[in-house]
Amino acid sequence: MKDLQLEDTRIKLAVWDIAGQERWFNMRHKYYRGAKGALIVGDLTREDTFQQIKEFWYNDLQKYFNSIPIILIGNKNDLDSIISLEKIKKLEKTIGAETTILTSAKTGKNVEKAFGLLSKKIIETNIKRD
């Protein structure tokens, strides 16, 4: 669980990391139930992770969700990236992400920003639907 304070609204997020653990991978769709947004994370030091986003995770999002806010994350920004910003922006457009945020889980850089922005987009999306 992740607690955030966004302006005058307190938000509680349930966060599932389903990509990195094979035993959970086949049950991933069960964790999708009730999701209002997605942080899709690629490793800036491994091009295959961005290819997986394009070829697999994006298809999953289309299959299981009508329209939810998506933030594309380029993680390990503390290391030398092998993925160009141009490729990342192209993928952002392809998957319909709101934006891309470069983060470092190791240093914490932009991690709170990513959760905060996704929360804001979820609130905006739900207000528009109501």
The neighbour count for residue 130, using CB atoms within 10 Å, is: 5
Amino acid making up residue 97: A
Half-sphere exposure of 85 (CA within 13 A, CB side): 5
Q: What is the pLDDT of residue 19?
A: 67
The model's pTM: 0.87
What band does 20 get if pLDDT is binned at 50, 70 and 90?
Answer: low
Class of CATH domain 2-129: alpha beta
> Which range, 20-29, 31-40, 109-118, is most confident?
109-118
Domain residue extents for the chain? 2-129
How large is the average pLDDT for residues 43-55?
Answer: 94
- Pairing type for strands 9-13 and 38-43 reads unpaired
